[in-house]
Copies of this chain bind each other. A is one copy, B any other.
Amino acid sequence: MSGDKTGISRSDVDLGPCAPTKSRVRDRIFETACELFYRHGIHGVGVDEIAAEAGSNKMSFYRSFASKDALVTEYLREQEREYWAWWDEAVARHPGDPRRQVEALFEAQFEIALTNSCRGCALGNAAAEISDDEDELSTLVRAYKEKVRRRLHGMASAMGARDPERLGDALMLLLDGGYFTRLVFPLGSGPISAALPAVRALIDAHLPPRRSADALPDAAQTVAAGK
């Protein structure tokens, strides 16, 4: 629904490389909306407040967005886009080393959690406040979470874990636990500092003993056998 097919006439062809003055108002409003949604929740911010905070007004808002729902959808998409950019950037620091990649991910999460503007995971928080009938949004959030899970599975698999799905799931629990607790605990006081050591311990427990055949039976039985 992101189709912004408004008047793509010759005007943007004329202006060439420079962005066709797309609409600075729209961007300002959208940025403001993202901040407010993240800080106060989607249901806690009205379009009037958004427009006013952006130095504009409601009418200009509705010239750029079809409805508040459309804005919310775009907000979630943008949050996901930024999230993957953040993710890819952390992972790209250790190409070919999935274990270090996972560690870098949690390091980066910890760094962000030390920001006072951090209020956990935007998509996850949205899931907590959208009701079941808001189908489009919950579908979007679910797809996002499933993608997180698949990526963690993939990294666990790439590092040669005995049970990559189980390890990936455990990593996801730690990740989301960090986001969730960050919502409540002020700045550096939460339990999120325990995430990285736990990640390392879990990976160790799932990796076969170094440079040796995995014939050693008992090493990860507690985790591999499960319940």
Q: Give A residues with C-beta under 8 Å from B.
A: 39-41, 43-44, 107, 120, 124-125, 127-132, 138, 141-142, 145-146, 149, 165-170, 172-181, 183-185, 191-198, 200-202, 204-206, 209, 217-224, 226-227
Q: Are A170 and B174 in contact (CB under 8 A)?
A: yes
Quick one: closest B residue to A121, CB to CB? B180
Q: Which residues of B contact A107 (CB under 8 A)?
A: 227
Closest 6 CB pairs of A and B: A173-B177, A169-B191, A177-B177, A169-B194, A128-B128, A129-B129
- Alpha-carbon separation in the docked complex, A58 to B177 (Å): 38
Known: A191-B172, A204-B223. A141 touches B184 (CB 8 A): yes
A40→B131 contact, CB < 8 A: yes
A201: which of B146, B184, B223 is its contact (CB, 8 Å)?
B223
Q: List 11 A-B contacts (CB under 8 A).
A: A41-B128, A44-B129, A124-B180, A146-B185, A169-B192, A170-B191, A173-B195, A176-B176, A196-B226, A197-B224, A204-B205
- A153 CB → nearest B CB, Å: 9
Question: B145, B184, B197: which contacts A222 (Cβ < 8 A)?
Answer: B197
- The contact of A218 among B191, B193, B219, B226, by CB within 8 Å, is B219
Chain B residues within 8 Å of A43, by CB = 41, 43-44, 129
What's the Cα separation between A167 and B125 when bound, in Å? 26
A205 to chain B, nearest CB (A): 4
